Structure 1
Amino acid sequence: MPFDLWLVYLIACVGLSLTPGPNGLLSLTHGARFGVRRAVFTAAGAITGFLVLIALSLAGLGALMAASEQAFTVLKWVGAGYLIWLGVRLWRAPPPSVEDATPAGHRDSRPARLFVQGFTVAVSNPKVLIFFAAFLPQFMTPGAGFWSQALVLGGTFAAIEFAYEVLLAGTAHRLAPWLARAGRWFNRVTGATFIGIGGLLTTASRSG
């Protein structure tokens, strides 16, 4: 891949990461509730999910999703249901603590649980799969190694997205003293946002 084309792709990845979405919101919430060190697992789960979507898109599943109304509808409702369920859990969650000391054995703060949540939110939106299928080929050079280019593209996006989500988590953690006072409203706002995103996802169309 030419270096100048990669730079354009890098800028595009930064713009994509800065676009508000459920994974950024989840990292923000986990950073406030559990601290940056725990939220790293959330970000790692999200990156793993995005890499899976990139691989599936390049393998042709994105095109299949764009062509199949039934497959798109099934995944759309599954993803929407998960986001709404997650929003309800956040709404009911206790306010974040000022202390960066969530008990290691606390069920909601276990690294594996945070990783799975990040991963599931990342793969729960079928429109992302279609987006990657349409977006990534624009930056691939015909005739060059396909999978080597895919590795560069996927790795670049993963690095940018991971850094952005950890930055969000760190910002939320610094606001923890304020969140300890207004944390219940923070949880309700983020929970309602997830529920809203899930509701909007049910109205999504393949071309919309």
Structure 2
Amino acid sequence: MSELRDLALFAFVMALGQFSPGPDMILLTRTALAQGIRAGVMVALGIATGLVIHTSLAVAGMAVAFERSPVLRKGLAWLAAVYLGWIAYCLLRSAFSKPLPASGSASVPAPAGNPYLKGFACNLFNPKVVVFIAAICAPFLRGEHPSWWPYALIAIVVIQGGGLWALWAALLQWRPLRTRYERSARWIDGAFGIALIALAIKLGLDA
């Protein structure tokens, strides 16, 4: 019973962390609004795939390597900053290179690229994800646990992450919200692009 209680607590804490503002949320929200639920779910699956790697590293104790190896940490931070800058460039180019759509028109197309791969790369290239997950997992890995315990933590992070992000993509299909987006797509994309630039700059400064 105590193990089930601990897993429920872990799932609750991770759910709060999953929806904290960051590159994953920005990319998923923009993609789901612009391209629809299928593309949004593909981004969610890409994020979940990235979480498989991050959570496995965190549970295996590899987060310590990021703390003890400044070169590795800085290298990944710069790689993440460059990737986020590229996404921001694509958003800003899409926002200001085309005329605004007429009311009631079809959704504005997003920058070219595979939604799954974009979600996967966005999550994978963010070194803060593995550090965050490691910090959350650490208290739940202390003490005596069954052999299946680490795998249960990994499964919760991955399934919960993919499920919640896919649900968020579905909720964003609410017609009034989509109609408002179509009318303001240029400015919303511009705002997302600027937010990603700010995140990229912050990663570079932290490095």
TM exceeding 0.5: yes
1:201 aligned residue (189, 197, 203): 203
The answer for unaligned runs of 5 or more in structure 2 is none
* Shift in Å, 1:107: 7.8
* Shift in Å, 1:11: 1.2
* Shift in Å, 1:134: 2.6
Q: 2:162 matched to 1:152?
A: no
Partner amino acid for 2:48? I
Change (3 A) 1:28 1:107: closer
State the Cα deviation string for residues 144-196 of structure 1 (Å, max 9, x = none): 344x2222112212232223322332343332211111100011001111111
Asked whether the 8 Å contact 2:108–2:182 carries over to 1, the reply is no
Counterpart of 1:137 in structure 2 is 138
Tell me which stretches of 4 or more aligned residues in structure 1 moved more than 6 Å.
none
Count of aligned positions: 198
Asked whether the 8 Å contact 1:36–1:170 carries over to 2, the reply is yes
Distance of 1:167 and 1:26 partners within structure 2: 15
| Residue aligned with 2:173, SS | helix
* Shift in Å, 1:98: 4.7
| Residue aligned with 2:206, SS | coil
Change (3 A) 1:107 1:201: closer
TM-score by structure 2 length? 0.85
Distance of 1:40 and 1:98 partners within structure 2: 23
Matches within 5 A, 1:21-60: 21-60=22-61
Q: Give the root-mean-square deviation of aligned CA atoms.
A: 2.4
Matches within 5 A, 1:1-208: 2-93=3-94, 98-99=105-106, 108=112, 113-140=114-141, 142-146=143-147, 148-174=148-174, 175-204=177-206
Change (3 A) 1:145 1:37: same
| Residue aligned with 1:144, SS | coil
Distance of 2:160 and 2:201 partners within structure 1: 28
Asked whether the 8 Å contact 1:90–1:188 carries over to 2, the reply is yes
Distance of 1:168 and 1:3 partners within structure 2: 26
Partner amino acid for 1:165? W
* Shift in Å, 1:127: 2.0
- Deviating more after overlay: 77-86 vs 136-145: 136-145
Percent of counterpart pairs with the same letter?
22
* Shift in Å, 1:100: 6.2
Distance of 1:184 and 1:100 partners within structure 2: 12
Partner amino acid for 1:202? G
TM-score by structure 1 length? 0.85
Asked whether the 8 Å contact 2:107–2:182 carries over to 1, the reply is no
- Deviating more after overlay: 175-184 vs 44-53: 175-184
Asked whether the 8 Å contact 1:35–1:173 carries over to 2, the reply is yes
| Residue aligned with 2:12, SS | helix
- Deviating more after overlay: 154-163 vs 81-90: 154-163
Change (3 A) 1:180 1:107: closer
State the Cα deviation string for residues 111-164 of structure 1 (Å, max 9, x = none): xx1111101110112122222223212112533344x22221122122322233
